[in-house]
Structures are given as C-alpha cells and as structure tokens.
Amino acid sequence: MKKTYKIEVDCANCANLMEEAAKKTAGVKDCVVSFMTLKMKVEFEEGADPAAVMQEVRANCKKVEDDCEIFL
C-alpha cells in the first residue's frame, strides 16, 4: 500500500534526512520525500498498519530534524 502525506520541512537536505530516517523504520518498504512539493510518499510493507508505522516514521524524522512536521 502506498500513501502520500503533506510535510513541512525547511530545506532539501532536511528532506533527504527525513527520507533516510523513514526508510529505516520498520514497516516501511520505500519512501520518497520531495522538498519541492512538500510531500512524502510512503510504501508500506505487506500487513503493516499504516497509522502505527507513520507514528514511528514521525518520531524517527523528529530525531534527525526536530522542526519538521508530517501531517497524518
């Protein structure tokens, strides 16, 4: 399953850090963050609960960029 989320991030480097953090989260098969469109596209692993996984993604992204935001 793939879902797209609106994000708020200050720079392209921060977007790259968020993408890498999201990819390392359990339950995420793939993730692409676009600074230009301020969107995060997440592909979830089969059987994963998107709501629970996105809470972990948000927490992991906050560790690398504390002022970022993901609108769930």
Interval 7-16 mean pLDDT: 94
Interval 5-27 mean pLDDT: 96
* Domain span at 27: 2-71
Interval 35-59 mean pLDDT: 97
42-62 burial string, b = 16+ CB within 10 Å, else e? Answer: bebeeebebeebbeebbebbe
Q: What is the CATH number of the domain that holds 10?
A: 3.30.70.100
CB 8 within 8 A of CB 38: yes
Whole-structure pTM value: 0.94
Interval 46-69 mean pLDDT: 95
The token pair that represents 44 in the structure block:
């979830």
The token pair that represents 10 in the structure block:
């200050």
User: How many domains in the chain?
Assistant: 1
- Cα distances (angstroms) measured from residue 70 to each of 28, 58, 61, 65: 15, 7, 9, 11
